[in-house]
Amino acid sequence: MGDNQASYGALLARINEDNLNQLIHACIDEVCGYPGLSHQPFANNVDLNKDEYIVVHKLFLRILSNPAILHPNEEKVLEEYYQDFPSEVQRSLLKCLRARRNQMSAVFFKKHAKKFATTLMDFNWRLILLMGSSKIASLKEPVLQLDLLVEDQQDDRIVGIELNRDELDSLINVLESIPH
């Protein structure tokens, strides 16, 4: 990988710091699920042809898609794996990682959770009042309709639940007992 990194380093050295930061942030956006940038915005400012841009773009996507890049000691990770990169590139990468660390951590956590667990994404609730039969017309019982939007590996789905007062109290007690 050292020879490849040296050739990557030569390509990266041709990009000025502002354009490099813009490219790294665009790649972070892509890792976070936002639309990526094409070669066109960089064509006038960067001395890379389209094929070279694709190589650099894929390199940054590969680096930034690895959760290990968010190791608490980023400098150590960069020194260990990307020591052949020019120091300006390492500094830019480190600066962008520090600026977007929380966003990337949230994305990696969400991707991991989606692979291995069902996740509650949102909920909606309604309180309805059920009327009794004609014999007991004065009986009114409140019922909570709870819709849970859950996400797992396959899809997003809505789980509907109806709870009377006792069931709702039990659910609230269980949820309050869960450690934060």
Average pLDDT of each block of 10 consecutive residues along the chain (180 residues)?
Answer: 63 84 91 81 73 88 88 76 80 90 91 82 89 64 91 86 92 88
In this structure, which amino acid lies at residue 26?
A
Is 123 found in the same domain as 64?
Answer: no
- The residue from 67, 97, 115 where one domain ends is 115
Is 38 found in the same domain as 107?
Answer: yes
What is the predicted pLDDT for the residue at 105? 92
Cα separation, 18 vs 46, whole angstroms = 10
Cα separation, 63 vs 108, whole angstroms = 13
Is 136 found in the same domain as 90?
Answer: no
- The residue from 98, 115, 132 where one domain ends is 115
Total length of the chain: 180
- DSSP character at residue 35: P
CB 70 within 8 A of CB 101: yes
CB 165 within 8 A of CB 142: yes
In this structure, which amino acid lies at residue 174?
V
What is the predicted pLDDT for the residue at 1? 44
What is the predicted pLDDT for the residue at 158? 93
Is 22 found in the same domain as 97?
Answer: yes
Is 55 found in the same domain as 20?
Answer: yes
Residue where the block lists tokens 């042809």: 49
Q: For residue 160, give its domain range.
A: 119-177
Is 136 found in the same domain as 106?
Answer: no
Query: What is the phi/psi pair of residue 145, to 5°?
Result: -100, 120
Whether the model pTM is above 0.85: no
